[in-house]
Structure 1
Amino acid sequence: MSDCGCEKTRRDLEEYLRHEVCTTSQADIREHLDNCPGCRDEALVSRTLTEVLARSCKEAAPEQLRDMVLERLRDAHVTT
């Protein structure tokens, strides 16, 4: 394996984290992350952000809030 460099690692980081790069690229990026604290930190931030966003997309608003918003939208539509 050869170090693929910071530029390539950062360019391909999102695809790497989603397991969307070929096996060779995956190994090269993994090796680079193992040896580059800056890129490793960036990968950690990206992974954490992705996980937080995924969790927030699974959360649903309380039904009472949903009903209140829909009622206000209907009221606003009627008055305009």
Structure 2
Amino acid sequence: MTPEEIDQLVAENVRAARARRRLRQEDLADEMGWSRPTVSALEAGTRRVTVADAAALCVALGIDLRELLRGADEDVVRALGLES
């Protein structure tokens, strides 16, 4: 997967997890200490997530890293040590 494909995948998974928790973008932004436009950019796939961001997103959304990367190619999952 390209970095851009991973960005898009993370964006979709964040959006889905936020929706499941019935959070608005503003709610997630508050939880993260971000602005709403930052959350919007993340969910659009135009903001790259750092490892620190990924950890904070997982806490804020009540998910684990596997869920954040759901749908990633097996080589990506394996490279991160997340194989089942």
TM-score, normalised by the number of residues in structure 1: 0.24
Larger radius of gyration: 1
If each structure's helix is expressed as a fraction of its own residues, which one has the higher value?
1
TM-score between both structures, scaled by the size of structure 2: 0.24
